Amino acid sequence: MPLTSYTFLFVFLPLAVLINLATHGKHKTSLLAVLNLLFISYLGFGPLLIIILSMLSYFYAAAFLYKKPNKKLFIATIGLNILVLVFFKYKPLFIETTNLTFLEGFMAPIGISFYTFQGIAYLADVAYWDRKPETNLLKFSAFFMLFMTITSGPILRYDETKIDDKDVSHEMLYNGFVRFTIGLFKKAYLAANFGLIVAKVYEGLYTTAFFTGTAWLGSIAFMLQLYLDFSGYTDMAIGIGGMFGIHLPENFNDPYLARSFSDFWKRWHITLTRWFKDYIYIPLGGNRKGSRRTYLNMLVVWLITGFWHGSSLNFIIWGCFNFLVIILERNVWGEALKKAPRILQHLITLILINIGWVFFRAGSLAQAFDFLSKMFIWDMNLIGVKQILTYVLSRPLDWILAILFCTPLINSLIMRWNTSEKQWQQIASMVLIVGLFVLGIIFVVTSSFKAFIYQQF
């Protein structure tokens, strides 16, 4: 059940919030457990059963490991869940190589990449960090299958996710609605419109009217689309969590304002980056065993990151590209970049980010390299200039809003007006939020639904 579907926006979410408010949060854990099952079951009984079995495996394995450490059980539990993840992630490849077409009938559970990582983190924390496991299956299910995060994160940690049966204050409810509305607008309007530009640009890649400027325009448009789509989902998830009195972790910290490539990856998909650091990089030895071992550990992390995102060779090359740039930044140009003017730091970082996102968006490795060749082999004339002006000037407000949403300006302004003592600022904030909400709903109703980009992972 996508967060931007009619059923979710007009039935599921309003009823869920109203029931929680009517009961003053006294049965929040039970309510969330039921809501999670209803939310996940829209794909059918099969995917729901797989998620439930995965949850039970982590729950009971953790209970056993806390009482009596058992490395074989730890490896078996994680290994089994990873095998399920790999099967569904690479199912098309299995079907192609084995010709077992009956496998097409097995539908992947939603959010399998996300809840698998949550389960691994939970089990590792109990087994190796002596964290006390949850003994109440209802409470654990409320966390493990939390409906607002299971599709695309943020990736949660049990000890940091507090779900209690307390009432929600009016302030938390309103702030949650504000955050949800901002995310809805970013996804339903801005990301959708930039997605149309990106699709049109990529469709024209092999035509004679495709120029260097066209390629860069498409690349920048996708850079904006991806952030607005993914951060929009995160805003919606955090907002829904707030409406239930649940504090969820941030997943972005203005990543396109980064001044280095390494800094960018500290700001983008923060919960995934932290997961890889804590459960892959550090257990492998981190940076404690010399530079060669450090670089090997980093390469392993980036390769797994690529595999996690998809079965296409594009994602493996994307992971290798990220690894290579970070190594070069550390050892070749990093110090020079620090001394460069700030605007140049931002520009170089954004160029590198754009190169990486081409592998992310292209339909094949060949298309990615063809697109990059158009970006960096100069081919421009007046027709190309006219193309760029047409794309930009036909929707100038969209470009302005997209850039503003890539900064903290709009969010900071809304929050400042919300808490202002000046009545006109409070009213202006409410009018702005209601306006964004109405516009977001209108765009959902009047346009064809596009799934969140990260939902496919």
Distance CA 150, CA 23 (A): 25
**What is the distance between the alpha carbons of residues 297 and 229, in angstroms, rounded to a whole number?**
31
Distance (Å, rounded) from C-alpha 301 to C-alpha 309? 12
Candidates 163, 135, 136; CA nearest to 149 is 163
The predicted structure's pLDDT at residue 455: 55
For residue 187, give Cα distances in angstroms to 146, 344, 441: 21, 30, 11
Rg, the chain, Cα only: 23
* Lookup: tokens for 436: 């964004």
Return the number of other C-beta atoms located less than 10 Å from residue 170's C-beta. Answer: 8
Instruction: Check if the beta carbon of residue 237 is closer than 8 Å to that of residue 230.
Output: no
Closest CA to 107 of 43, 152, 55, 150: 43
Q: Which residue carries 């969140």 as its tokens? A: 452
The contacts of residue 331 (CB under 8 Å, 6+ apart) are: none
The rounded distance, in Å, linking the Cα atoms of 80 and 53 is 11
| Structure confidence at residue 425 (pLDDT) | 85
Q: What is the pLDDT of residue 452?
A: 57
pTM for this prediction:
0.93
pLDDT of residue 416: 86
Tally of CA atoms within 13 A in the half-sphere of 106 that contains its CB: 16
pLDDT tens for the chain, residues 1 to 457: 788 888 999 999 999 999 999 998 889 999 999 999 999 988 788 889 999 999 999 999 999 999 999 999 999 999 999 999 998 888 777 776 776 776 677 778 888 999 999 999 999 999 988 889 999 999 999 999 999 999 988 999 998 888 888 899 988 999 999 999 999 999 999 999 999 999 999 998 888 888 999 999 999 999 999 999 999 999 999 999 999 999 999 999 999 999 999 999 999 999 999 999 999 999 999 888 888 999 999 999 999 999 998 878 999 999 999 999 999 999 999 899 999 999 999 999 999 999 999 999 999 999 999 999 999 999 888 888 888 888 888 889 999 999 999 999 988 888 888 877 788 888 888 888 998 999 888 888 877 555 556 555 5
Task: Establish whether the linkage from the previous residue to 408 is cis, with ω within 30° of 0.
Answer: no
Please give the pLDDT value at position 90.
81
- Rounded distance between C-alpha atoms, residue 4 and residue 228, angstroms: 14
Whole-angstrom Cα distance, residue 406 to residue 261?
Answer: 16
CA pair distance 408, 456, nearest whole angstrom: 27
